[in-house]
A and B are shown apart, each in its own frame.
Chain A
Amino acid sequence: MPPTNYHLLVCAGTGCRASQSEAIVQALHEALEHHGLLSHVQVVRTGCFGFCEQGPVVKVMPDNTFYVQVSPLDAEELVAEHLVKGRRLRRLLYADPLTGHAIGDASDMAFYKKQIRVALRNCGFINPENINEYIARDGYAALARVLGELTPEDTIAIIKESGLRGRGGGGFPTGLKWELTRKAAGTQKFVVCNADEGDPGAFMDRSILEGDPHSVIEAMAINAYCTGASAGLVYIRAEYPLAIKRLRHALEQAREYGLLGENILNAGFNFDISIRYGAGAFVCGEETALIHSMEGGRGEPTVKPPFPSESGYQGMPTNVNNVETYANIPIIVLKGAQWFRGIGTPSSPGTKVFALAGKVNNVGLIEVPMGITLREVIFDIGGGIKDGKKFKAVQTGGPSGGCLTEKHLDVPIDYDNLLAAGSMMGSGGMIVMDEDDCMVAVAKFYLEFTVEESCGKCAPCRIGNKRLHEMLEKITSGHGVPEDLNRLRSLAQVIKDTSLCGLGQTSPNPVLSTLAHFEHEYQAHVNEGRCPAHRCKDLVHYVIDAESCIGCTLCARACPVDAIAGDKKQPHVIDAEKCIRCGACLEKCKFGAVLLT
């Protein structure tokens, strides 16, 4: 069989690049050259496939074979077996964790079965640095349709009818926002894309910009047409160098093709986009802060109203939407509002992209229809909890959200249900925690983040969160008293009620939700001086069980502070005074003799 038409898709997202995917591309080129196939087979660097846990990933098209954990050394064999001999290289296929069977076709993997790709439709399929590949998949057809056939009002009506809600966290109806910006009075208007993605542990927007930057550019142009804006701005985190590079490249290409600039598609429509860089401040994701930051100032929020749609960048009406919100627009324009409403739930149509991370087997980027349950996400797509441990909680909504527990596993995920369950959709971070995680320490972790990121403008957030954090510090270090729990609750409520912006208004959520669902863990800390998950250093004690210890001396040699004494073949003893609770002995002991109390 002549191996024509093969495409080798190599993930070139941040995750896979960190594990050498660039070297794999080189090695594949060499192997193809060696077999004389260089002119028949294309190697394409694509955006993220989502299955980051098993990266670096190489996909062979058209037969949709999915190779995982590929190393540059595998390139020669992969080309020789798959492309020359026409058979899959079993060794590199993904093995189903339940059955152990190697799976060849990506669509048979549990990880992909329940996913629907709308916002991520092109990620991992096209070369993000080549505008022609985007165009070949109906790219810019929506812009052409809007400019050629539809009025701004028609277009806004489609978006409104689709029921699309903002994916940046708030869930505000997108069509309505566009309409408000259109109706607002102003000599000039702006379109802004919020690519600040501050939630730590979330990487949805980054992956879209790295894998499919043109979809965002196209949507911003459509928005400009609808709202009457003449300039667009993308506010992107400086921590995302690859996304910045791809976006800049895409902007240049779009200008070359006359899709940005003057008289776009001969429709007499002018629009261009420039980039603004963040500088590491979470609060700049809040839209008013973001606007101040784009103007060159400190990113401090201001009171709403006025909303940006009335008075935003340079005091002009400004439409701010999130990256993923924009990525949905072109396909809604092409396929229609009814098609979109066919996915998801009535109050939250469409899909949501989540960054699934933490203690699950399949860490990665997933896109699922709204209405799917947490159980399906964590156990079917995520492949369950790592190392066979027990599921404890999942945090959605990042530092503004809350944790959901076992009893929420069957709740259908949408904006309203998550709010009702005491968390929120947020931008899509989903962190899974297992029995080894202490929920008090998790709440403290998020508070640490908030304290660091509070802009300091208003007192409840600046001072209140600091005090909350101090109380949690006191509890996790073993100095808590029972009254502390009520103090936590009432202070948290004050902060929520009186803070100026969304950061302060939501920052106590991790405390309140862990208190609601895991009060017994707080109780154990304050009443018994015990951390049930053995996570809080000051509350755990390492001891050696004399019965199981055979005196191999491994632990004594591993201890960095010489806290372990004992003769060879005699049970050892840990000096609690010297012990710094680093856990080195526990890791080294092969006989399970080191115990935590």
Chain B
Amino acid sequence: MAIVKIPQQKLEALTQICRSHHNQAGELINVLHAAQQLFGYLPAEVQEVIANELNISLAKVYGVVTFYSFFTMLPKGEHPISVCMGTACYVRGAEKVLDEFRRLLKINIGETTPDGRFSLSCLRCVGACGLAPVVMVGDRVFGRVSPDKVPDIIHEFAPEYTV
């Protein structure tokens, strides 16, 4: 396992998060949410600190992190792209949109572009089914996306990309 040292400042913020949840094992999921917000992802070192603080085994923390799809142990791209694969989006052609992102960015679901700009994932329903198919890039929601709009979306975040 690669040893990533957590910068002192962030380490303090992390223990502070645990303390604000009273270092209680029952608050594990809330702690992980806050930690992922701080680090962007949950590498092993972060999980170790949390296990120590909440006085539970690292295996338990790891078990929870890997159970929930919201938590990730890999850093995401600068602009995380999520294609909605909920049923409403699926029947309105979300698969083709996803294929187009894969083709143009040359990455698969769960991967990040080598330059770290974009990562690609699927999610299930953001609740904007009226606008299906829906794509989220960071916090931005794009509705009624068709494959030919995919290059425009990429360009909006990375004008220098030639796609």
Contact = CB atoms under 8 A, between A and B. Distances in A.
Given A201-B87, A299-B68, A398-B87, A276 B30 contact: yes
A199 to B, nearest CB: 8
B91 interface: yes
A202 interface: yes
B138 interface: no
Interface in A432-462: 433, 437, 442, 445-446, 449, 455
Nearest to A456: B67
Contact of A358 (B87, B124, B142, B143): B87
Interface string B12-36: 0000000000001111111011000
A200 B91 contact: no
Interface residues of A, number: 53
Interface string A265-297: 000000000001111111000000000011111
Contacts of B24: 296
Contacts of A135: none
Interface residues of B, number: 42
B126 A293 contact: no
A449 B88 contact: no
B123 interface: yes
Contacts of B132: 357, 363
Contact of B27 (A296, A358, A437): A296
Interface in B126-152: 126-132, 134, 141-143
B130 A52 contact: yes
B79 interface: no
B125 interface: yes
B106 interface: no
A442 B134 CA distance: 19
B7 interface: no
Nearest to A358: B91
A431 interface: yes
A382 B126 CA distance: 21
A228 interface: no
Interface in A457-476: none
Contacts of B71: 279-280
A363 B96 contact: no
B85 to A, nearest CB: 7
Contacts of A583: 96
A506 B135 CA distance: 29
Given A18-B143, A296-B28, A560-B103, A280 B68 contact: yes
Instruction: List 7 A-B pairs, minimum CB-CB distance, nearest first.
Output: A52-B130, A279-B68, A200-B86, A201-B87, A357-B88, A18-B141, A280-B70
